[in-house]
Chains A and B, each alone.
Chain A
Amino acid sequence: MSDHAIHLQLHVWRQSGPRASGRFVTYEARDISPEMSFLEMLDVVNERLTAKGEEPIAFDHDCREGICGTCGFVINGVAHGGQKGSTVCQLHMRHFRDGDELTLEPWRARAFPVVRDLMVDRSAFDRIIQAGGFVSVNTGSAPDGNALLVPKVDADVAMDAAQCIGCGACVAQCPNGAAQLFTAAKISHLAQLPQGQPERYQRAQAMVAQIETEAFGSCTNYGECEAVCPKGISIDFIAMLNRDFLKAAVRVEREARVAGGSG
C-alpha cells in the first residue's frame, strides 16, 4: 500500500470555541492511502495527533454515506471539496495528488457561527423549518393514502426538491451567505404537492421572513449554491420560491381583509 501512499500538507482552521479567535495550523498527513475517504484521512491525522498529546481536530460527521448532512467544510475554497454531487465524507483521497497542499476551513457564514475548529452551528436552518416548513396535520387525521392522487411528474419534482440534506454548503459557498436554496427546496417540495396547498402562501411568507431574522444575506443569483449542492438541487426552485413569495404578498393581504370583514 505504501507504494501508492500520498503525502499532503493540511492547513486547518483551529478555534477552541465560539468566542475564541482562530488560526490556521499546518499538519503533515503522511502515508495516506488513496482508498481512504477524506474523513478517514482526518481520522488518521487525529489518531497521530492524539498519540503526540495534541488535541484532535474537531469536525462534524455522522453517517459517512452522504445522506445525514452532518459533515461539511471548505477545502481550498470549495464547500465539500469540489467533487460533483458529493459531500466531503464521500470524497476519496484518490482524487488528490502526492504533495498537494490543502486548506480546510469551516463554513464561513455569519448565520453559522463556529462551534469549534471545523464545526459550525446550523440551528438557523431548524428555525426556518419551524417558521412553516411543514404541513399542519396532526397524527391520526389523515385520509387514505390513495384518496389523494398526485401526478407522477409532480411527485418527482417534489422529490427533487425534498432530497435536500440541510448540510449548509449552499450558504457557505454563496458570496452573500444566503439561505435561499435551502428554503426554496422545502417551499417547492410542499408547493408541488396537493397536501402543501392550504398553507402554501403563508408558508412562503413565514419562511422568508425567518431568513431575514437570521443573519443570512440576500440572494443575488450567483448560482454557486447549486454548483456545490451535494444533491444537485436546482436554482429553478429559487425562482419558484420568489413567485410564491410575491403571490403571497397579494393573497395574504386579501385573506386578512376577508377574515377581518367577516369578523
Chain B
Amino acid sequence: MTATTTTTSTGLLDARSPGGPIETRWERCKFDLKLVNPANKRKFTVIVVGTGLAGASAAASMAELGYEVEAFCYQDSPRRAHSIAAQGGINAAKNYQNDGDSVYRLFYDTVKGGDFRAREANVYRLAEISTAIIDQCVAQGVPFAREYGGTLANRSFGGAQVSRTFYARGQTGQQLLLGAYQALERQVAAGKVKMFPRTEMLDVVVEDGRARGIVVRDLVTGRVRRHAGHAVVLATGGYGNAFFLSTNAKGCNATAIWRAHRRGAMFANPCYTQIHPTCIPVSGDYQSKLTLMSESLRNDGRIWVPRRKGDTRRPGEIPEAERDYYLEARYPSFGNLVPRDVASRNAKQVCDDGRGVGPGGRGVYLDFADAIARLGRRAIEERYGNLFEMYERITGEDPYSAPMRIYPAVHYTMGGLWVDYHLMSTVPGLFVLGEANFSDHGANRLGASALMQGLADGYFVIPYTIGDYLVDHMGEKLSTDTAAFAAAESEVRQRIERLLGVRGKRTVDAFHRELGHLLWEDCGMARNDAGLRRALERIPALRQEFWEDVNVLGGGDELNQALEKAGRVADFFELGELMCRDALHRSESCGGHFREESQTEEGEAKRDDERFSYVAAWEWAGENRAQVLHQEPLTFEYVHPSQRSYK
C-alpha cells in the first residue's frame, strides 16, 4: 500500500447520540444513564491524565461524588496547565445583556462557526451547560469582571452579534483554571484525589478490550510505574506543538492521546487546526514559541501592507495611497473583523505575494494610528494597555508610535480522539475531554469557546456519563500485576532505551523544528494535493532519520528534559503524518482546513457537503501501515448548512 491511498471502512461508529427534540436530548440521556449507588462510588478508582480546565474540573467533581481519583500532570503543579494562558473569555448563553442570546443561538453560532462539521447533539449540550459553568465558577470565587451595580459584565468577542463572553481582565483562563485547581486541591486535602505532578503518561493499558490503567514515568526520578483504574480519563490538551512553533506551552504534547490511538482509540479530524491571526511574528531561527495577542485588537486596529512588493520604507513613510488595507477592501461588511481563518489566510497571501513586512517579510501591520486620533491615546491605553506593553516587551517597539507587526500562528486543534456522546473513545473505559477530543467545534472553533468546552466536559458531562460505564464493572478487582501491564511497561522501557541509545548527531529540537516547518508549509493555513503528498513522503523519511541520528544525552533514571522532549517529538512525527493523510483525503475546504483546489471563483473556501459531511475517524492499523478511515455521517436537523460569506 502506498502512503497516500486511503482504506475506508463502512462499519458505522456508534455515537450514542440521542434522538428526538434537541432541547431535551441531554436531559433524556441523563435519565437513561445508569447510576452508581453513593455508597459504592468509593469502590471505583478513576485515573485522570492532565489537569487543565477539563482534567482538574473532572477530577474534582468526580472526587466530590465519592470516586477515588488519581490525577497526573507533567507540570510541577496542576495550577500550571496551559489553559492558564487563555486571555479572552468564556462564552455562556446567559442573556444577561438582554440582547437576544439564548441556548439555541449559542448552539446555532457554534455549529455554523464550525462550518457544519460538528455533531449537533453535542453542540447543543455544550450551549445548554454553558450557563451552569458560570454559576459554578462564580460560586468558587472566580473574580469575573463586574458592572458598577455588582452584576457580571459581558463583552462581544470574535465577531459575535451578542455579548455573551464573561472575562476576568485578560486572564480569564488563569482565573478559571485556578478555580478548578483549588477545587482539586480541596479534594487532595480530603484524601479523595491522589495527585501525581511531574509525571508523564507513556501508555494506556488495555485489558480484555477495555482501558484498565496507564504506565507513567516519574520525571524527577525517571522511575517507570503502573497505575490501575476502573476507567481512564484523558484531558491532555491539543497537538498544536506538532508544528514546533505555536502559541502552546513548550511542554504541551500529544503523547497521551497518541499512545491511546495506538492502543485502539480512533483519531478524528486530525487536519482541523486553528491558526490565530494576531500573533507576534517570528524574529529569528532561535524562536522557541509564538505569543498570541487577544484578537480584540482587531476591533480598533487596521490591518495593511504596502501596495508595492519589497517596500522597505518605514511604515510612517508610506503614504495612505500606497497602503493596501486588504481586509477592508476585500470584505467591506466585516473588514478587519473577519473570522480567524479568513484573516490568517489573507495575511499569508499578501506575504507570499512579497508584500509582507518585518524580518523575513512574514508579517503585516496592525495599525492603531486612526483609532488613537479618533478616540485619544488614553482610550486605547484603557482597552489594550496590557497587550501593548506585552508587545513592547517582546519586540522592543512602541505600538503607540508605530504599527504593530502581526502574523498568524498555530493556536488550537479541533481534531482529537473520537468520542461518542458520553465522551468515551472507541476503547471502552477510555474517556477523552477538552481539547484532546474532537467533539464540539467542528472544523473551526469560535473565540471564547475552548474554556467553555473544557469546563463543560469536566464539571458537567463526565461526572454523569462515567457512572453509566462503571456500574457494569462493579466489584472488579484492580491489579497492575497482569500480562497487559507488564507488556506495556516493557514497551515503554524499550522505547526509552532506544531513544537514549541512538547517540546520533542532531538534537531533538533540530528535528522538531524541521518537522514543524514541513507541517507549516504543507499542512498549514492552505493545503494542496501536491504539497500534502510531498509531506507524506518527507515525514516518514525524517522520522527514520530521527531514530537513527537523534542525540539524547544523560540517562533514563534521572530528570532528563531532552529525553522527555524526544519521546514527544517521536509521537509528533507519527501524528504529523496522520494530519497530512487526513488533509489529503478531505479534498474540500472547511473551517480551518483550506484546500486550494476547493475554492470559489472569488477565492473563498468551498465546502463539499455531498462528499464530506462526516467525521473522519482514523483507526491505527499497525506500525508503518496507513490508518483505516471510518466515517461518522453528520446530519443537520436544526442548523441547515449554508456557505459562509463575509463580504
Residues of A within 8 A of B (CB): 1, 16-17, 33-37, 39-40, 43-44, 47, 50-51, 53-56, 58, 60-70, 83, 86, 90, 92, 94, 115-116, 119, 121-123, 125-126, 129-131, 133-146, 148-152, 155-156, 158-159, 162-163, 165-166, 189-190, 193, 195-196
A218-B454 Cα distance, complex, nearest whole Å: 39
New A-B pairs, 13, CB < 8 Å, besides A92-B394, A138-B61: A33-B284, A35-B284, A55-B553, A67-B171, A126-B185, A129-B79, A139-B183, A146-B94, A155-B144, A158-B143, A159-B143, A195-B138, A196-B141
Task: State whether B77 touches A155 (Cβ < 8 A).
Answer: no
Known contacts A44-B286, A62-B249; decide if A162 and B140 are in contact (CB<8 Å).
no
CB–CB A68/B249 < 8 A: yes
Interface positions of B (Cβ within 8 A of A): 57, 60-61, 64, 75-82, 84-85, 94, 96, 132, 134-141, 143-152, 168-169, 171, 174-175, 178, 181-183, 185-186, 188-189, 195, 197, 220, 249-251, 283-284, 286-289, 291-292, 390, 393-396, 459-460, 463, 505, 507, 509-510, 551, 553-554, 558-559, 561-562
Q: Are B186 and A134 within 8 A (Cβ)?
A: yes
Do A50 and B551 touch (CB < 8 A)?
Answer: yes
In the complex, what residues of B have CB within 8 A of residue A60's CB? 76
Consensus secondary structure, chain A interface:
loop
Distance of B456 from chain A, by nearest CB (Å)? 12
A190 partner residues in chain B, CB cutoff 8 A: 141
Q: Which of A70, A92, A130 contacts B76 (CB 8 A)?
A: A70
User: B138 near A145 (CB under 8 angstroms)?
Assistant: yes
Given known pairs A130-B189, A141-B139, A195-B140, the reply for A146 and B96 (CB within 8 Å) is yes
- Can you identify 14 A-B contacts, CB atoms within 8 angstroms? A34-B396, A36-B283, A63-B82, A63-B249, A68-B85, A90-B390, A116-B558, A126-B78, A139-B183, A149-B151, A155-B145, A162-B168, A163-B174, A189-B143
Q: How many contacting A-B pairs (Cβ < 8 A)?
A: 216
* CB within 8 Å for A90 and B393 given contacts A63-B82, A67-B85, A155-B145: yes
Q: Is the CB of B559 within 8 A of A163?
A: no
Q: Are B559 and A51 in contact (CB under 8 A)?
A: no
**Cα distance A196–B140 when bound, in Å?**
8
Q: Assess the B507–A50 pair: CB atoms within 8 A.
A: yes
What residues of B have a CB within 8 angstroms of the CB of A70 in the complex?
75-76, 80
Query: Taking A125-B77, A129-B182, A162-B178 as contacts, is the C-beta distance between A151 and B394 under 8 angstroms?
Result: no
Q: Contact: B77 with A62, CB < 8 Å?
A: no
- Give the shortest distance, in Å, between B389 (CB) and chain A (any CB): 8
Are the CB atoms of B289 and A64 closer together than 8 Å? yes
Query: Which residues of B have CB within 8 Å of A94?
Result: 396
List, in ascending order, chain A residues with CB within 8 A of B132's CB.
140, 142
Chain B residues near A58: list those with CB within 8 A. Answer: 559, 561
- A35 near B186 with CB under 8 A, answer no
Compute how far the CA of A34 lies from the CA of B395 in the bound complex, rounded to whole angstroms: 10
Most-contacted residue by chain A among B85, B139, B394 (CB, 10 A): B139
Bound complex: CA of A87 vs CA of B146, how far in Å? 28
Say yes or no: A152 contacts B147, CB within 8 Å: yes
C-alpha spacing A63/B240, complex, angstroms: 13
Residue of A whose beta carbon sits closest to that of B459: A139
State whether A36 touches B96 (Cβ < 8 A): no
| Given A62-B75, A129-B182, A149-B151, A159-B251 contact (CB < 8 Å) | no
Query: Is A134 a contact partner of B139 (Cβ separation < 8 A)?
Result: no
Determine if A139 and B85 form an interchain contact, defined as CB atoms under 8 angstroms apart.
Answer: no
A145–B152 touching, CB < 8 Å: yes
From the candidates B185, B396, B562, name the one contacting A129 in the complex (CB within 8 A). Answer: B185
Contact B150 A150 (CB under 8 A): yes
If A68-B85, A133-B182, A139-B57 touch, does A61 touch B250 (CB 8 Å cutoff)? yes
Q: A130-B185, A195-B138 are in contact. Are A139 and B64 (CB under 8 A)?
A: yes
